[in-house]
Chain A
Amino acid sequence: DIQMTQSPASLSASLEEIVTITCQASQDIGNWLAWYQQKPGKSPQLLIYDATSLADGVPSRFSGSRSGTQYSLKISRLQVEDIGSYYCQQAHSNPNTFGAGTKLELK
């Protein structure tokens, strides 16, 4: 199975700050990478797919990038409504696997 190593596990940031979360794939997955946001007590929502494409309705302050087998999610100016957990997921091969998650809190 492909392992997705996500970091950091938790992150405390201030409003308007730039936030970056990364995922390292254990092998080449091309651009088959998605990011999800999960707000407390809610189900996950798709943010980014194909490593860099923004899902419908997602604010433009979210962006995704790739460098080799490392993938990053960037929030350009943190807002209160961005608080929650974030997960990466590889869609290159079965079984689809997720990163362990990053819990984002307000400082």
Chain B
Amino acid sequence: EVQLVESGGGLVKPGSSLKLSCVASGFTFSSYGMHWIRQAPKKGLEWIALIYYDSSNKYYADSVKGRFTISRDNSKNTLYLEMNSLRSEDTAMYYCAKYAGSDYFDYWGQGVMVTVSS
């Protein structure tokens, strides 16, 4: 059974940093690209980052480019999202999601909440 479990969220002040983790199981993690997608409270979904299976390519939404970094450790079956210079508009539930081919997302984690507030 595919499982994706996020952690690392919390309440932080504007300008702070935070690093999210997503531990994967139930599939060959090193063979699949992975995404981060977020959802602000009562809002829709926003794709924010993609990393290829071998970390050879990384892509970001303009809203987080230069502030967020996606990475992975295939030896630990773990995906990361390092978030710097956090803003109030980054407040959201953050989901990791498995690449299903053609940039669809076939498995999602349960999400981790990040709140940026003074």
- A residues whose Cβ falls under 8 Å from a Cβ of B: 32, 34, 36, 43-46, 49-50, 55, 87, 89, 91, 94-101
Interface SS of chain A: helix, strand, loop or mixed? loop
Asked whether, in the complex, the Cβ of B102 is within 8 Å of the Cβ of A55, the reply is: no
Select A46's contact among B45, B105, B109, beta carbons within 8 Å. Answer: B105
Select B111's contact among A43, A46, A99, A101, beta carbons within 8 Å. Answer: A43
What bracket does the count of chain B residues touching chain A fall in?
Answer: 10 to 19
A50: chain B residues at CB < 8 Å are 102
- Decide: A99 near B44, CB < 8 A? Known: A43-B108, A43-B110: yes
Could you list 12 examples of A-B contacts with CB < 8 Å? A36-B105, A43-B95, A44-B105, A45-B108, A49-B104, A87-B45, A89-B45, A89-B105, A94-B103, A95-B47, A97-B47, A101-B44
A45: chain B residues at CB < 8 Å are 108
